[in-house]
Amino acid sequence: MATGTGSEGEHVPLRRSAKEQQIVAAALDILRDRGPAAVNIESVSAASGIAKSTIYRRFSNRDELIASAVDSVTAAPVVPPGLDIEDELRWAVRRCRDGVEHVLGLGGVTGVLVDQDPHFSATIRSMLVPWIALVRDILVRGITSGRFRRDVDVDVALNFILGASLGEFIRAGTASDEWTDRVVRMLLLLLRPSADDRDESDGDVTRSV
Ordered by where they begin, the domains of the chain are 15-71 (1.10.10.60), 85-208 (1.10.357)
C-alpha gyration radius of the chain? 20
pTM, to two decimals: 0.77
- Residue 15: its pLDDT value, please? 61
Three-state secondary structure call for residue 81: coil
- Residue 127: its pLDDT value, please? 85
Give helix then strand counts, H and E, for the chain. Answer: 10, 2
Task: Please tell me what DSSP assigns to residue 13.
Answer: P
In sequence order, the 6+-apart residues with CB closer than 8 A to the CB of 149 are 143, 190, 191, 192, 193, 194, 197
Cβ–Cβ < 8 Å for 69, 160: no
- Residue 197: its pLDDT value, please? 64
- Beta bridge partners of residue 166, listed in sequence order: none
> Left (φ > 0), alpha (ψ -120 to 50) or beta: where does 82 sit?
left
- Residue 201: its pLDDT value, please? 53
**What phi, psi does 11 have (nearest 5°)?**
-75, 135
Strand residue runs (E) in the chain: 4-5, 11-12
CA pair distance 7, 79, nearest whole angstrom? 9
Cβ–Cβ < 8 Å for 135, 161: yes
- Residue 8: its pLDDT value, please? 44
Q: How confident is the model over 166-194, as pLDDT tens digits?
A: 999 988 888 899 999 999 999 999 999 98
CA pair distance 24, 56, nearest whole angstrom? 13
Per-residue pLDDT of the chain (209 residues; tens, 9 = 90+): 333 334 344 444 456 688 888 999 999 999 999 999 999 999 999 999 999 999 999 998 999 999 888 888 877 788 999 999 999 999 999 999 998 998 899 899 999 989 989 989 998 888 889 899 999 999 999 999 999 999 999 999 999 999 999 999 988 888 899 999 999 999 999 999 987 665 555 445 333 33
In sequence order, the 6+-apart residues with CB closer than 8 A to the CB of 137 are none
Q: Look up residue 31 and give its amino acid.
A: L
- Residue 71: its pLDDT value, please? 85
Q: Is the sign of the CA dihedral 98, 99, 105, 110 positive or negative?
A: negative
- Residue 72: its pLDDT value, please? 83
Q: What angle do CA 158, 164, 167 make, to 5 degrees?
A: 135
Cβ–Cβ < 8 Å for 82, 60: no
For the chain, report the end-to-end CA distance as a whole number of angstroms: 52
